[in-house]
Structure 1
Amino acid sequence: MRPPKGRAWGHRGHRGHTPVVRVTAQGTKRVSMAALICTKPGQRPRLIYRIHLDRGPAKGRRKGFAETDHARLLDAAHQQLGGPIVLVWDNLNTHVSHAMRELIDARLWLTIYQLPPYAPEFNPVEGVWSHLKRSLANLTEHSLDQLTALVKTRLKRMQYRPGLIDGLIAKTGLDFQPP
């Protein structure tokens, strides 16, 4: 629940005093997100995402997205897009695990290409996270539910801005059109 920090201009009477945003670090609650930017010839690009809430400690339970959560996101994208998927994926530990490999192998409609390690500039979804974090800078929500609602609203707005999504794709310098 710690917000990303942003820069701020102080009031005239407060020159030289850095504004402070107080945030409590109670518990280990978190909102995790996974997203896909999808392109299909002749159609506008799409942003498909899922949100995972972790409301606190539980032994042996993963805090963020597990392999099965990623698989459900891919299944939803397959359903929405109505065809096979070629996925260009980063090297997140859940993306390259043995369990994920088994889930991928069970989906004949899915082809995976891994991005090189430490190459976020080639991943357009990194732009989604950057854009989202900037929009949440210095925000202090009072509850996990309020933060989740705000994140969903901001991601929903991005879904309806194909120009933004096109820009995130263009920024990678990669050509996503089939040969």
Structure 2
Amino acid sequence: MRAVDLFEEGVEVPCIARELRVSEKSVHQWRRTWRTGGREALRSRGPSGYGCRLGPHLQAKLAMWLEVGPAAHGWADDPVWTAARVRTLIGRKFHIS
């Protein structure tokens, strides 16, 4: 992680912010986190939010339905999947939103 390397080198906050193209406030927060928890504390924990409510078996089913295209599910006017259509398909097939 470049920010940690720069912290360890003693580079000033404004220089780090400029180099990494972030705000100085972000650099201050990162440095505070780094001081208390080290390099590991700054590692990404992946995307935030809720996990997928479909298990692997249901995801495979959804992939199969998506492969046959929107027309097979009632959207004959435009052969393109949109987020709204996928959401509707999931609601119809799995009764979840």
TM bucket (normalised to shorter chain) is under 0.3
TM-score, normalization by structure 1: 0.16
Larger helix share, 1 or 2: 2
Higher relative contact order (CA 8 A, sep 6+): 1
User: Who wins on radius of gyration, i.e. which is larger?
Assistant: 2
